[in-house]
Structure 1
Amino acid sequence: MDLSSSRSIFGRSVGKLAPLAISLLFFLVLSALIPSTEAYDSLDPNGNITIKWDIMQWTPDGYVAVVTMFNFQQYRHIQAPGWTLGWTWAKKEVIWSMVGAQTTEQGDCSRFKGNTPHCCKKDPTVVDLLPGTPYNQQIANCCKGGVINSWVQDPANAASSFQVSVGAAGTTNKTVRVPKNFTLRAPGPGYTCGIAKIVKPTKFVTQDGRRTTQALMTWNVTCTYSQFLAQKTPTCCVSLSSFYNDTIVNCPTCTCGCQNNATQPGSCVEGDSPYLASAVNGAGKNSFTPLVQCTSHMCPIRVHWHVKLNYKEYWRVKIAITNFNYRMNYTQWNLVIQHPNLDNLTQLFSFNYKSLTPYGGINDTAMLWGVKYYNDLLMQAGPYGNVQSELLFKKDPSTFTFEKGWAFPRRIYFNGDNCVMPPPDSYPWLPNAASHLMSTSVMTLLTASAWLLIYYV
């Protein structure tokens, strides 16, 4: 067979396969564009927020239900100003009353005479009540201002509930219709909610533990998070230093924004400015818009990783988290770190620790957070706006090295947001002359110099 005939055979084969290939390509592109309800987070593949809707009793024109949001995410929590939950009614339902939450709008209730419903909107939006709400307006797990802690860090406070009395609805399991188009903002976008699925009724155990009751009807909604869908600008960055190199690698310039007082006056404030107090207590005092200290990176949060000491069988790292935001105290903060030596973490000082294994048996990811009543609150920018810890690692002779930036983390998350790392070619490399152990005096001097510079940058 000559080359021309071979080409013709291949040409006919490709021609027959072309429609199939085009169809397959179209399907893949379409699949990528359709939002998926599967977990988006590679470090927490099974993490989600599950909304459970339990009908507890029937009423003459509807039902009373308890709605609970369970945060099954290992490290991502919902911080102030809290969650906002929405949905679309399947029929012409109204909300007669609520306990533990409220809708943001009443809507048009003009068709009702006498008793007026709490909300008549086809697509209500619900928010949590604030702490300090009168006792008769509360139920269990309500009234936290929409704040829900993560499952690993604080499982006792990883849920939020409210009670809703629904009218103009079905009064039996066969006539009730589940709501549609659930949306969750926590506090901004990023969550995608699936459809409501009817499941086995939830069972409850009485306080004395001697009797079990169950809901009349239950449906679940699963919501998963994607930082890509959130379309957030970076909120944190990472800087690096080491005892074996006097180079300090700062956060990349303009990581979270740029200083531009010409077009955006007041976008940042100098830490030693005489106008600092007036800026902090100005018009945006009660908002959650960051007011950050003027830095080259303009991030509210910086995480600094310092390779501190080298021993014969161990090596030590110091971590410092600095808050540059004058309007935010970070409660229940946490870090998630990826590093290949985390499976040999020997000791941790002043932080809590939990190993995360998102890929099965690979132990290269850890979650760190503050000790309760000690450093679990990261104060706003200022002299107290930082927390620190040290990590002691045992060396694995088969993998350990200080060369080529191996001692620095691969990824760091703060409160679930991926922090911007410096480019790898800028890392403090191990000098040729430093291949042998440095003297203690030299290491101490470089360490002190690095931390002095970091403090003032």
Structure 2
Amino acid sequence: MRFSVAVLFLAVFSSCVVAYDPLDPTGNITIKWDVMSWTPDGYVAVVTMNNFQMYRHIMSPGWTLGWTWAKKEVIWTVVGAQTTEQGDCSKFKGNVPHCCKKNPTVVDLLPGVPYNQQFSNCCKGGVLSAWGQDPQASVSQFQVSVGQAGTSNKTVKLPKNFTLLGPGPGYTCGPAKIVPPTNFLTPDRRRKTQSLMTWNVTCTYSQFLARKHPSCCVSFSSFYNETITPCPSCACGCENKNKCIKSDSKLLSVVGINTPRKDNAPLLQCTHHMCPVRVHWHVKVNYKDYWRVKIAITNFNYRLNYTQWTLVVQHPNLNNVTQVFSFDYKPLVPYQSINDTGMFYGMKFYNDLLMEAGSHGNVQSEVLLEKDKDTFTLKQGWAFPRKVYFNGEECMLPPPDSYPFLPNSAHQGQAFISILIFSLLTLSLVVMW
């Protein structure tokens, strides 16, 4: 009995912990329902999805939102989105609802839909930018008319069992909670109105729930050592080892080989790490008062372009970034007293798109950092990052004992080993004598 309770406690505790991101402790996606008017059999609500995550966005094919109605509600109309299934609406003789399912699933509309189907902040194919990258593009909205529902604050029953795919698994949504009504300003900003009723749903992300293995890895190199520290072998799992394709394979010339699949199955280039993405950190130059790093991101997936990608790095010297040459950069300071984390992302219309695997499947930049003479050193791997995230997913780092070392350290180590071997040989000869 005690063992069962302990296992249950551990499972609950783990599920809480994995949804917490120490580099973005307040990051979440908040879904807000604002009831704007009552109808004869229900209400009209504006649903707003805000991505408050600093560096994790939702890329194509976009978000999918689901829930379960508390009673026998139906959706009469949707503007700015659509449900994926209509369900059984055979009992309706006149007007037929847009959806009669007990558990509807809603997706965003694609760009370019007719104007009468659009709503503010809609029709982006479900793509949501990260809050830290582009706050204006981190919002999605649609309007829904609900029937066979309550017609007052006391009779409305909140939907339950919310689910969010973004676009794959990983998000866990809490229950809907009634909050103070949202205030709105008229276009002339002289009059304030408010919703009739408002409730929020908060969804948090867990990489543990999203996938079994990491989706990226990190390699290191430096100017002071010819050795390149590669990504760990099978860093992202080797399940696709038999399905990968070599970079010089003739299959790459087959028409349609790069076309994305409905199940989003990757087509990876054969590597020892089998990761879709590799981040390389190269310590390039050591000046008197500054030092320079080169960052390169390589895509090994032949079926996926990464739009609006983000790279988050944790390193103590990021508090003195002097210049970033080919990426945009933004410091992340979740704890005001510690400034050791920053987000790199592509410049719009220049390198914000990481192309599929191949000759164009990489982006790179250099970073100039000012030295802090009290902390800067090239010893013991200090010049390499502590954590690396790509598109919000933590990447696997090489083991610390494999980092490029200073030549002086190597000579000292070799001298110590030589002295030790010589001493042992001498001792053995003395004993034999």
Is the structural similarity TM-score above 0.5? yes
- Whether contact under 8 Å (1:37, 1:192) holds in the other structure is no
Match of 1:407 in 2: 383
TM-score where L is the length of structure 2? 0.89
- Whether contact under 8 Å (1:47, 1:224) holds in the other structure is yes
Give the counterpart of 1:375 among 325, 328, 351.
351
In 2, Cα distance between equivalents of 1:280 and 1:239: 32
* Equivalent runs, 1:384-423 vs 2, <5 Å: 384-423=360-399
Give the counterpart of 1:270 among 246, 268, 293.
246
Residues 55-90 of structure 1: per-residue CA shift (max 9 Å, x gap): 111111111111010001111111111111111111
In 1, Cα distance between equivalents of 2:322 and 2:171: 36
Q: 1:157 to 1:430 in 2, by over 3 A?
A: same
Give the counterpart of 1:101 among 81, 84, 93.
81
In 2, Cα distance between equivalents of 1:129 and 1:182: 20
Kindly indicate whether residue 184 of structure 2 is the aligned counterpart of residue 184 of structure 1. no
Give the counterpart of 1:289 among 244, 265, 270.
265
Kindly indicate whether residue 289 of structure 2 is the aligned counterpart of residue 313 of structure 1. yes
Match of 2:276 in 1: 300
In 2, Cα distance between equivalents of 1:27 and 1:260: 33
- Whether contact under 8 Å (1:259, 1:294) holds in the other structure is no
In 2, Cα distance between equivalents of 1:282 and 1:312: 47
Kindly indicate whether residue 37 of structure 2 is the aligned counterpart of residue 61 of structure 1. no
Superposition deviation, residue 195 in structure 1: 1.3
Kindly indicate whether residue 53 of structure 2 is the aligned counterpart of residue 77 of structure 1. no
In 2, Cα distance between equivalents of 1:380 and 1:26: 43
- Whether contact under 8 Å (2:68, 2:162) holds in the other structure is yes
Deviates more, 1:391-400 or 1:86-95: 391-400
In 1, Cα distance between equivalents of 2:27 and 2:35: 26
Match of 1:87 in 2: 67
SS at match of 1:178: coil
Match of 2:414 in 1: none
In 2, Cα distance between equivalents of 1:109 and 1:295: 52
In 1, Cα distance between equivalents of 2:13 and 2:258: 45
Q: 1:159 to 1:107 in 2, by over 3 A?
A: same
Superposition deviation, residue 226 in structure 1: 1.1
Superposition deviation, residue 376 in structure 1: 1.2
Superposition deviation, residue 273 in structure 1: 2.0
- Whether contact under 8 Å (2:258, 2:303) holds in the other structure is no
Could you list the runs of 5+ residues in structure 1 that have no partner in the other structure?
1-18, 436-457
- Whether contact under 8 Å (1:280, 1:326) holds in the other structure is no
Superposition deviation, residue 390 in structure 1: 0.8
Superposition deviation, residue 357 in structure 1: 1.9
SS at match of 1:308: strand
Give the counterpart of 1:32 among 13, 18, 26.
13
Aligned length: 411
Superposition deviation, residue 381 in structure 1: 1.5
Q: 1:146 to 1:121 in 2, by over 3 A?
A: same
* Equivalent runs, 1:2-401 vs 2, <5 Å: 28-29=9-10, 31-32=12-13, 35-36=15-16, 40-258=20-238, 264=242, 267-278=243-254, 280-281=256-257, 284=260, 288-401=264-377
Q: 1:36 to 1:425 in 2, by over 3 A?
A: closer
In 2, Cα distance between equivalents of 1:283 and 1:155: 31
SS at match of 1:293: coil
Superposition deviation, residue 256 in structure 1: 2.0
- Whether contact under 8 Å (1:104, 1:127) holds in the other structure is yes
- Whether contact under 8 Å (2:260, 2:304) holds in the other structure is no
Match of 2:420 in 1: none
- Whether contact under 8 Å (1:39, 1:47) holds in the other structure is no
Percent identity between matched residues is 69
- Whether contact under 8 Å (2:177, 2:201) holds in the other structure is yes
In 1, Cα distance between equivalents of 2:44 and 2:83: 16
SS at match of 1:369: strand
Q: Which amino acid in structure 1 is aligned with residue 42 of structure 2?
A: G
- Whether contact under 8 Å (1:80, 1:187) holds in the other structure is yes
In 2, Cα distance between equivalents of 1:273 and 1:37: 43
| Large movers: runs of 4+ above 4 Å | 21-28, 35-39, 282-287
RMSD: 2.4
SS at match of 2:92: coil
TM-score where L is the length of structure 1? 0.85
Deviates more, 1:121-130 or 1:225-234: 225-234
In 1, Cα distance between equivalents of 2:173 and 2:262: 30
In 1, Cα distance between equivalents of 2:16 and 2:93: 43
